[in-house]
Amino acid sequence: MKIRAGYDIAFHCLQDVPMVLMLSVHPSRQSDLLTDHIIQLSPRVAARNYLDAFGNVCTRLVAPAGQLEIRNEFIIEDTGLPDPVVPHAAQVPLADLPDEALVYLLGSRYCDTQKLTELAWSLFGGIDGGWQRVQAICDYAHERIQFGYQFARSDRTASEGHAEQVGVCRDFAHLAVTLCRCMNIPARYCTGYLGDIGVPRDPAPMDFSAWFEAYLGGRWYTFDARHNHPRIGRVVIARGRDAADVAISTTFGPAQLTRFTVLTEELAQNEGAPIEPTGKQRQPQFA
């Protein structure tokens, strides 16, 4: 399967503003790119990439006063398979968890585990099996929160989302991640592209999506508390403890978002670029 994805974003700045963008495909998916992945900046300004502590590609630049336009469009190859479902995947005992998974057991800015631990154990303590426990958490978050773009709030924590019972995809993910951590299951927040592939088209404007991964049976598995069923065509951009680690833009000064469009769609078999030879990896570029 081929997927066309990209974005058209603009900021208006009253002065020169340093920025960090997180808009590149995650390194784990860069070998699947079929076309160049070019971040187009208008006006053209100096920019450079670095990897953060979680292995995500970040872009540093200084936006000049006035309008800054940020665009990209690319084609990526995907298996076309839905998220795997592995009911026998077991919860890993704490003593056996790899060192790098331990940070995903801790509370974080939006995942306030200390406020939900008692609730989590009362609801999910009697469930055996790692996969069944995580799926029960997804079911609970899916039913607990009402989705609506009008409910978006950038500072809502997991416990507040649980109390208010409204939110957007990040709130579903934060609640599920927090409840998993309360149950000693490592869980990490993910953001990326998720188009309406294999499901009815959503008439609402497209946005980047949020889901999460839980560490079970010695590997990370994808879960999605908002949609709560396996989906096709996820393209991850970044992973972290919560949304604070994977913000698409972090500005160090006044910058107003004036345009925001996201594209994700499946291409017909005869569309798109030819597949490059195996082993060729396309790196993010600037224009």
Going from N- to C-terminal start, the domains of the chain cover 2-79+247-269, 94-245
- Backbone dihedral region for residue 184 (phi beyond 0: left; psi -120 to 50: alpha; all else: beta): left
> 94-245: same fold as 2-79+247-269?
no
Instruction: Name the architecture of domain 2-79+247-269.
Output: Sandwich (2.60)
Task: Work out the pLDDT band at 248, boundaries 50, 70, 90.
Answer: very high
> Which tokens in the block code for residue 65?
């006063």
Residue with tokens 């995947």: 89
HEC letters along the chain: CEEEEEEEEEEEECCCEEEEECCCCCHHHHHHECCCCEEEEECCCCEEEEECCCCCEEEEEEECCEEEEEEEEEEEECCCCECCCCCCCCCCCHHHCCHHHHHHHCCCCCCCHHHCHHHHHHHHCCCCCHHHHHHHHHHHHHHHCEECHHHCCCCCCHHHHHHHCEECHHHHHHHHHHHHHHCCCCEEEEEEECCCCCCCCCCCCCCCEEEEEEEECCEEEEECCCCCCCCECCEEEEEECCHHHCCCEEECCCEEEEEEEEEEEECCCCCCCCCCCCCCCCCCEEC
CB-based contacts of 283, cutoff 8 Å, min separation 6: 30, 37
CATH number of the domain at 94-245, please? 3.10.620.30
- State the pLDDT confidence band at 262, using cuts at 50, 70 and 90: very high
Confidence label for 205 from pLDDT (cuts 50, 70 and 90): confident
Which pLDDT band holds residue 275 (cuts at 50, 70, 90)?
very low
pTM over 0.95: no
> Which residue reads 């149950």 in tokens?
183
pLDDT value at 284 more than 60: no
Rounded Cα–Cα distance for residues 50 and 48 (Å): 7
Q: How far apart are CA 233 and CA 48, in angstroms?
A: 28
Predicted pLDDT of residue 204: 85
Per-residue pLDDT tens over the stretch 32-77 = 999 999 999 999 999 999 999 999 999 999 999 999 999 999 999 9
The β-bridge partners of 96 are: none
Residues 206, 200 contacting (CB under 8 angstroms): no
